[in-house]
Amino acid sequence: MKTPQPLPQNLRPPLALLERLSNAVGVSGDEEEIRQIVQKQIRSFVDEITVDALGNVLAVKHAADPNVTRVMFAAHMDEVGFMLVQEEGEGSFAFEPVGGIDERQLLGKPVQVGKERLPGVIGSKPIHLCTAEELHHAVPQKNMHIDLSPGCASKAKVGDFATFATRFQRNGDALFGKALDDRLGVATLIELARVNPGNLEILFAFTVQEEIGLRGARVAAYNFQPDMAFVVDSTPAFDLPLVQEDEENTQYNTRLGAGPAIYLSDAGTISDPRLVHFMVKLAEEHHIPFQFRQPGGGGTDAGAIHLTRSGVPSVSISIPGRYAHTPILHASLEDWKNTLHLLNLVLLHASRSILTPDR
């Protein structure tokens, strides 16, 4: 295998920014904190920024010629989390998940609640007091509670959002944090805003409410009317050693460290083969490692974007991450660099001609 070409000097994975974005709180429907960071970071690199009715940040870099190809890049600002739904006294609140969370992951996890980030915990019965029977059964989410302590009950109220209290950490290539799905994509788009292709109308959509049904992307694409769309997201890597050694892992989705994951087909979108081919060719020519995400379930903002108006040729590319939608996601810096590198090339080489011939 040939050595990958180095990342162009003007581009670098913005690690400090990723740390801020990962630690910031922006559960679906409550993305204001992320929106503020995004707007501040891209202001000097784009020609136009608007916040639409749903809260998407729509940023445009104009081309000199208004008839040129319109290329949309989307990443979602929101993260999965919780909402307090009932006060139960003594600082305890019943809650419901916002977005898809495996309820077996929740018990005993520290959380932060509301704008003031009140510390809390999804309380559980200590092992000392559990019966043998209890230790062998998962606790249903409706029986769990967020405990803010009796003294803090008045500081929170029904309707407040909550999320995991995980702080970002890095160890060499290893990145750990909450909400890296999809703050990795958000940080990628912010960095891409520095690139000046000149001959394209570049449309950046930092979307809201992806985790609860691609709602932001739907209206963002309607507004932008792009000729093509690239969605940057995070996707699970389940390339773990198996329990049974003689069995081959055939359902890993992606592998950590194997490069950006290009989508072929998921539950929401069959990628436009012309855009897949375009990205694969660029990656091969520049010796950038990449992998195909295994076709199957799941989905990204592309599921809404490609059905907008008369249709938008779309493809997704994700940074692989282990343990998605849990308190901590583990991604690889090298994968992120390679994603950034490939998307930089997409920006520099995209043109309407890649949509010929017809799909």
Catalytic machinery residues: 210
Nearest approach in angstroms of CB 228 to another protein is: 9
Footprint on residues 201-230 left by another protein (CB under 8 A): none
> According to the binding rule CB under 8 A, does residue 265 interact with another protein?
yes
CA pair distance 271, 315, nearest whole angstrom: 5
User: Nearest Cα to 194, choosing from 59, 1, 336?
Assistant: 59
> According to the binding rule CB under 8 A, does residue 112 interact with another protein?
no
User: Nearest Cα to 289, choosing from 5, 92, 41, 14?
Assistant: 5
Nearest approach in angstroms of CB 356 to another protein is: 11
> According to the binding rule CB under 8 A, does residue 23 interact with another protein?
no
- How long is the chain? 359
Closer to another protein by Cβ: residue 230 or 252: 252
> According to the binding rule CB under 8 A, does residue 352 interact with another protein?
no
> According to the binding rule CB under 8 A, does residue 80 interact with another protein?
no
Provide the 8-state DSSP code for 152: G
Residue 160 Rama label (left phi>0; alpha psi -120 to 50; beta): beta
> According to the binding rule CB under 8 A, does residue 153 interact with another protein?
no
Nearest approach in angstroms of CB 304 to another protein is: 11
Select from 15, 51, 152, 307 the one that contacts another protein (CB under 8 A). 307
Footprint on residues 243-262 left by another protein (CB under 8 A): 248, 250-252
Percentage helix, strand, coil, to 5, in the chain? 30, 25, 45
> According to the binding rule CB under 8 A, does residue 358 interact with another protein?
yes
Footprint on residues 284-303 left by another protein (CB under 8 A): 292, 294-296
CA pair distance 312, 220, nearest whole angstrom: 12
Closer to another protein by Cβ: residue 2 or 309: 309
Nearest approach in angstroms of CB 306 to another protein is: 7
CA pair distance 152, 3, nearest whole angstrom: 56
CA pair distance 156, 175, nearest whole angstrom: 32
Nearest approach in angstroms of CB 169 to another protein is: 32
What is the SS3 assignment for 27?
A: strand
Q: Which residue has the tokens 């495996």?
A: 102
Considering CB under 8 A, how many residues would be counted as binding another protein? 24
Select from 306, 325, 337, 341 the one that contacts another protein (CB under 8 A). 306
Residue 322 phi, psi (nearest 5): -80, 145
> CB-based burial of residue 65 (10 Å sphere; 0-12 exposed, 13-18 middle, 19+ buried)?
exposed
Residues contributing to the site for another protein (CB under 8 A): 248, 250-252, 264-265, 270, 273, 276, 292, 294-296, 306-313, 355, 358-359
